[in-house]
Amino acid sequence: MLLAEVSVHLLSLQLRAPFTTSFGTYHTLSRPFVVLRTADGATGVGEIPTLIDPAYKAECDTPAVVTSLREFVVPSLDRFQAEQGPIATIEALRASYAWIKGEVFAKSGVEAALWDLIAQRAGAPLWRLWGGERTTFPVGVSIGGKTVEQVLALAGQAVDQGYRRLKIKIWPGFDRAVIEAVRRRYPDILLQADANSAYDRASWQALKALDDFNLLLIEQPLYDDDIVFHAEIARQLQTPICLDESIHSLRDTEAAVHLWRRQGALDRLIINIKPPRVSGFAEAIAIANYCHEAGVRTWIGGMLDSAWGKAFNLNLNSLAAIDLPGDHFSPGGAYFEEDVVTAPLVAHDGTFTLGDGISTGVTLDWDRFHRLGEKLFTIRLDR
Ligand code: OSB
Ligand code: MG
């Protein structure tokens, strides 16, 4: 399978409802997509669900992802194929850009596109390629509201649609009251909070108040690049800590497990596996399996991905090693005014079922794909 051409597109996705986190409110997202073409005319597509600014992680859409693809990642594929022959496997692809430090999101888009090509060639759904063992599982929603009233309204929509697992965005000054209000209204729901690194080594003490509300976890309270201080505060909280932003690789995960184990608190460590934040699905699977062995719970996070990216993540959720419901759906129906697939993904009664459709199981709507954005550049690889 000789890779002949890589194109990078930038799409504009309009959220149906604004999404607020500790780091800002988003209305419209710009989204890089990688389109890989083989010499025999097959096409694979990968979404890069970075945000428009570096408020979540340093690697944002433009210039970071786009520049790194154009200057480093794609030229590495070219060099590899010229020197070592066709990139036909995920291992070869990863080897081609292994020299590049970080740039995990940029790499993940190319990897997703190659998985799409490999699955098409195999005529199989991704979940089968990945060794998935269950096709039906509970899914959850992430709620980003600015006020307690907004959060309760979104939670109400989600619960009315049958979701039984809610994640609420919190930040200093918007934590206890909002969590208490949601917990009062829904005493039995699986409830978790996400701080997106909004607390520091003094203000995290406010989170002790959340121990009263039977939360499943508190996600990334401290700095986006920290593991050590998270381990430190985990000793002083009853609610498990879940790492999101700090985990870029299996090695980061091993470091966290090492620290939590040392203090006998592995039952209070949870890992949010976001495939694009760990450079792709191969690394995500390695993390899921490692955590399963270590007795650390995991779930699949999201980045307000389009239905294309969500479909990849839902396929990954089939792994028996994944323990908890993920962020796969928006509380009030579709995430975007217009999405890039032909038919929306739907959960029934808070449960999603994977079918036997090839690759992602959903079909890209190329008309809409082209209408929603523009091609930034194409690099030919078959020189
Ligand atoms: O921290 O999980 C996060 C969205 C963008 C960036 C970071 C996060 C999120 C979400 C939304 O919480 C999850 C989803 O895609 O539904
Ligand atoms: Mg998070």
Position 298 pLDDT exceeds 80: yes
Q: For residue 158, which ligand has an atom nearest its CA?
A: 1
What local confidence, expressed as pLDDT, does residue 37 receive?
97
Ligand 1 atom closest to Cα of residue 304: 15
Ligand 1 atom closest to Cα of residue 302: 15
Mean pLDDT of 202-229: 98
Q: Which residues are catalytic?
A: 169, 274
Instruction: Return all residues near 193 (Cβ < 8 A) that are at least 6 apart.
Output: 167, 168, 169, 170, 175, 179, 210, 215, 217, 218, 219
For ligand 2, the distance from its centroid to the CA atom of residue 170, given in whole angstroms, is 11
Position 359 pLDDT exceeds 90: yes
Q: Is the pTM of this model over 0.95?
A: yes
Lowest mean pLDDT among 94-103, 109-118, 244-253, 374-383: 374-383
For ligand 2, the distance from its centroid to the CA atom of residue 187, given in whole angstroms, is 23
- Mean pLDDT score across all residues of the chain: 97
For ligand 1, the distance from its centroid to the CA atom of residue 303, given in whole angstroms, is 4
What local confidence, expressed as pLDDT, does residue 383 receive?
65
Q: Whose CA is nearest to atom 5 of ligand 1?
A: 303
Are β-strands 190-194 and 165-169 bridged in parallel, bridged antiparallel, or unpaired? parallel
Burial tier of 285 (Cβ tally within 10 Å: 0-12, 13-18, 19+): buried
Banded pLDDT at 353 (limits 50, 70, 90): very high
Provide residues with CB under 6 Å of ligand 1. Answer: 56, 142, 194, 196, 244, 301-305, 327
Q: Dump pLDDT digits (tens) for 64-107.
A: 999 999 999 999 999 999 999 999 999 999 999 999 999 999 99
Q: Dump pLDDT digits (tens) for 2-57.
A: 899 999 999 999 999 999 999 999 999 999 999 999 999 999 999 999 999 999 99
Q: Dump pLDDT digits (tens) for 238-274.
A: 999 999 999 999 999 999 999 999 999 999 999 999 9
Which residues have C-beta under 5 Å from ligand 2, the single-atom ion? 194, 219, 244
